[in-house]
Structure 1
Amino acid sequence: MISMLLPGEKLNFSALENLDKRLSSTDEESNEKYEKGDVRIVTEQARYPLVSVVSMVTSSDYELNPEFQRRHRWDKTKQSRLIESFIMNVPIPPIFLYEVKYAKYEVMDGLQRLTAIHDFYSDNLVLEGLVEWPELNGKKYSQLPTQIKSGVDRRYLSSIILLQETAKTYDEAQRLKQLVFERINSGGVTLEPQEARNAIYNGNLNQLCIKLARNEYLCRTWDIPLPTPEEINTGEVSDELLKNEFFRKMSDVELVLRFFAFRQRPENPKGTLKEFLDTYLKYGNNFSIELLSQMEIIFNDTISLVYEILGKKAFRLWRQRKKQSNQSWDWYNRPGMTAYDPIMYVFSQNLGRREEIISKKEQINSNITKFYEDNYISFGGHSTTNISSINDRNKVFAQFLDNILE
């Protein structure tokens, strides 16, 4: 089925055509590539006195990503343990900066360390959970013994700076930033693809995806805590939300991005799914504000219609599951992309039939289990994200809905 896209929504994915060209080459070509300095990172190192970090965090010369900070906020104990490490002179990993302009930097990795040091020197951190220096628990920087304050003030934070000359063009800079960012460990945990996109391809579309990820119906169907009044008013998220791995990894934001991108995935089959989402977000950030406003309406209308028809379990599959010695059919205990992608896609293509769909709510629900049984290979087997599988799921679910609406 062909997507019904808004004027200006269709993107040109010709950039994907060259992806496969990087996958193979002769030894001679590889040697030439190395000698030319292709895909070679240019770096320098720097050391910052801890007391200077306060001015770094507040300076316009350093760009911090507030959304990444919001989702990966260290608690007071973890912040305190970092300060205790400085007191003990334990080696701390360097932070990574990217020089976007001369003497202008993005913080690629190390945001939480910078924030903890800033809060400490701003007297906003009351130390807690210290193990080697428990007598300092309950104290702020200004309340520390003189010798300990002087000792911490002598410490440095190291950095590795990726210089602007690393890349010759803007597109190459974006690609190399992504390559480095994805290979940096943050707190010992490799960053998820959407976390990397959020840092590298931040823009109007990315911000819209972040906003829509807190949609009430999306949260209900994916078991994500709903926005609290405090979050709505101040942006401060609850501890319950921070404990939700789906939120912390920005998987909720990727759900929204997938919805928009999959509206034109069938017509743009080249490249892996990850590459497709990267490229879509990169170019989609250039969409006009007017177009983004229309896309926002489509997402909200689609997820609300899906929820009205299928409820909280909208994206859970009816699957054949092995129970002890026999096979039986049952609802899967959590939502999945295999159901989310085609259901959202097909419902978005039928928003003009909203009232008709609502009138058939009971029939849709009473027949959907048989639909999954009849299409078990497409939905319940070893489903993949290759384009033929995506098109097949879209096609059979569209036919299911059409048959009921006839």
Structure 2
Amino acid sequence: MPVADLLPDEAITLDPPANTSGTTSSDADIVDRYVRGEVRIVTDQARTQLAELPLVLQSGRYKLQPDYQRRHRWSAAKKSRLIESFIMNVPVPPIFVYEYEYSKYEVMDGLQRLTALWDFYQDKFELTDLEYWPELNGRKYSGLPLQLRQAIDRRHISSIVLLYETANDNAVAQHLKELVFERINSGGVTLSAQESRNALSSGPLNSVLPRLARTPEFCRAWGIPEPLQGIDDLERDEVLTDSRFQSMDDVEMVLRFFAHRQRGLEGAPRRLKAFLDQYWEVANRQLTKETVEAIGEIFKRTVRLVFAVLEERAFFIRRERGGSRGWVPRPTLLAYDSVMSAFSQRLDFADVLVSRKDTVLQGLEK
């Protein structure tokens, strides 16, 4: 059986567009809904002394990287400025955590602040680029004068806790915490389209697609730093500062491959962003992780075949300019969608395509 037939278009059913022509609600209906508390967050507040923070984070009661978190990590300079703020007693925004079980929490917002403080107390970075305390540049926590360490230790970081009582089942809880995360972050740095999807819908795509985006051939084709064996990507500055990785554009490109396999389904929105938004939400709800992994294997086989045949110009296009045709010196999504679709339907002929690689490349030149 051809590989392209393993997962037919009927694997998921896209939802029809929402009906916005419903009846309006009366003031009494609105007030009644509010009184019933259909969508209401139950919160508490807490303050933790910085000296106690390492013990708190080591307790096993805090989950620091939920699936919907963003990929951004702070540089040593940004971590240093946070420490300088505590030295000067400048107010620092609170962190937001969700109590997913009694006395167990996942960090919804403030991961970078907690990570910076943890790294500081573990002597993992030297202070740098300080504006008001430049004489401390080059020092780690253990190298600071005792009185200054004690001054930092007695500072506090505040947290707002979404209590376990907020939701009466896991589905409601997941929706509410993702909603809160998206609302918090949309007030600051604008979320990319894929970051918003990642925050607002949770399922197998959230865990599988970021991993697929680290396929070496895919990274090489797009100029994204490739994964290194035994080294966590989130510890490598060259990866963390890559714009496609930061914004999760690489994950969106994997999503495009998944979604275009079912592009012909009836009811799919015509605009690409709306289509990807809907596919992400519905696929997360309808597809099992096993199915997503199976499509992922097709993705990896496809991108490896594409790179084996077309090499570094796998997703380049040729454009006429000044009376002659030449290669656009960068990969394009137009070529990516078309090439990936074509090659994914011919995986059963991979050996033939590789053996006739020179013929294919010569044909592209024409």
State TM-score, norm by structure 2. 0.81
CA displacement 1:343-401 (0-9 Å, x = unmatched): 2123212212324444654555455577xxxxxxxxxxxxxxxxxxxxxxxxxxxxxxx
Q: In 2, distance between residues paired with 1:336 and 1:76?
A: 33
Q: In 2, distance between residues paired with 1:171 and 1:70?
A: 21
Q: In 2, distance between residues paired with 1:179 and 1:189?
A: 16
Contact 2:201 2:281 in 1 (8 A): no
Closer/same/farther in 2, CA of residues 39 and 360 from structure 1, 3 Å limit? farther
Q: In 2, distance between residues paired with 1:66 and 1:7?
A: 29
Query: Which of 253, 260, 267 is matched with 1:262 structurally?
Result: 260
Q: In 2, distance between residues paired with 1:45 and 1:56?
A: 16
* 1:110-129 correspondence runs (5 A): 110-129=110-129
How many residue pairs get aligned? The number is 357
Q: In 1, distance between residues paired with 2:294 and 2:351?
A: 20
CA displacement 1:160-215 (0-9 Å, x = unmatched): 22334444543343333333222323994233343455566666554332332222
Q: In 2, distance between residues paired with 1:91 and 1:23?
A: 47
Query: Which of 269, 280, 283 is matched with 1:278 structurally?
Result: 280
Residue matched to 1:235: 232
Q: In 2, distance between residues paired with 1:101 and 1:193?
A: 30
Residue matched to 1:338: 334
Match of 2:230, SS state, is: helix
- One-letter amino acid matched to 2:284: K
Contact 1:184 1:190 in 2 (8 A): no
Q: Alpha-carbon deviation of 1:107?
A: 0.9
Q: In 1, distance between residues paired with 2:194 and 2:302?
A: 22
Contact 2:69 2:108 in 1 (8 A): no
Which stretch of the first structure deviates more once superposed, 176-185 or 32-41? 32-41
Residue matched to 1:52: 52
Contact 2:96 2:161 in 1 (8 A): yes
Which consecutive unaligned segments of at least 5 residues does structure 1 have?
371-406
Q: In 2, distance between residues paired with 1:180 and 1:360?
A: 53
Match of 1:189, SS state, is: coil
* 1:184-223 correspondence runs (5 A): 184-185=184-185, 188-198=188-198, 205-223=205-223
What is the RMSD of the two structures over their aligned residues, measured on CA atoms? Answer: 3.6
Q: Alpha-carbon deviation of 1:293?
A: 5.3
Match of 2:138, SS state, is: coil
Match of 1:207, SS state, is: helix
Closer/same/farther in 2, CA of residues 187 and 59 from structure 1, 3 Å limit? farther
Match of 1:108, SS state, is: strand
Higher relative contact order (CA 8 A, sep 6+): 2
Contact 1:84 1:133 in 2 (8 A): yes
Contact 1:261 1:280 in 2 (8 A): no
- One-letter amino acid matched to 2:345: Q
Match of 1:234, SS state, is: coil
Which stretch of the first structure deviates more once superposed, 304-313 or 329-338? 329-338
Closer/same/farther in 2, CA of residues 123 and 178 from structure 1, 3 Å limit? same
Closer/same/farther in 2, CA of residues 166 and 320 from structure 1, 3 Å limit? farther
State TM-score, norm by structure 1. 0.74
CA displacement 1:65-98 (0-9 Å, x = unmatched): 1889894332222211101101111111121212
Match of 1:107, SS state, is: strand
Which consecutive unaligned segments of at least 5 residues does structure 2 have?
none
Residue matched to 2:162: 162
| % identity of equivalent residues | 45
Which stretch of the first structure deviates more once superposed, 98-107 or 271-280? 271-280
* 1:93-172 correspondence runs (5 A): 93-172=93-172
Q: Alpha-carbon deviation of 1:25?
A: 5.5
Match of 2:264, SS state, is: coil
Q: Alpha-carbon deviation of 1:63?
A: 0.9
- One-letter amino acid matched to 1:147: Q
Residue matched to 2:248: 250
Q: Alpha-carbon deviation of 1:225?
A: 2.0
Q: Alpha-carbon deviation of 1:142?
A: 3.3
Match of 1:190, SS state, is: coil
Contact 1:65 1:199 in 2 (8 A): no
Residue matched to 1:349: 345
Match of 2:214, SS state, is: coil
Closer/same/farther in 2, CA of residues 268 and 218 from structure 1, 3 Å limit? farther
Q: In 2, distance between residues paired with 1:328 and 1:36?
A: 69
Contact 2:87 2:152 in 1 (8 A): yes
Q: In 2, distance between residues paired with 1:191 and 1:313?
A: 30
